[in-house]
Amino acid sequence: IEVFNILFIREQEKRHVVHCMDCARKQSPSLEGFVCLEEYRMRELMDVYDGFTLHTPISPAMAAAQSSQAS
């Protein structure tokens, strides 16, 4: 299971190694020894998601009509 925005980090041989949630739970079901970090604040991601608008692509015929109207 990949979890976007959340990093599971564990020190291994004096290096910090990032794991996905599934691999972290395989090593430690309670996630003991892992540090969990957020890349972005959840509120920021929710605002981006809530403000997202899907725009439909303009067909070549519509693009040509719009450019001829502009000139």
Mean pLDDT of the chain: 85
Dist. CA 36–CA 29, nearest whole Å: 14
Q: What is the pLDDT of residue 6?
A: 86
pLDDT digits (tens, 9 = 90+) for 10-22: 998 999 999 988 9
Helix ranges (DSSP H) in 1-71? 21-27, 42-51, 60-70
Q: What is the pLDDT of residue 50?
A: 93
Please give the CATH number for the structural domain made up of 1-42: 2.10.110.20
* Local confidence band at 47 (pLDDT 50, 70, 90 cut-offs): very high
Query: Does residue 25 have a pLDDT over 70?
Result: yes
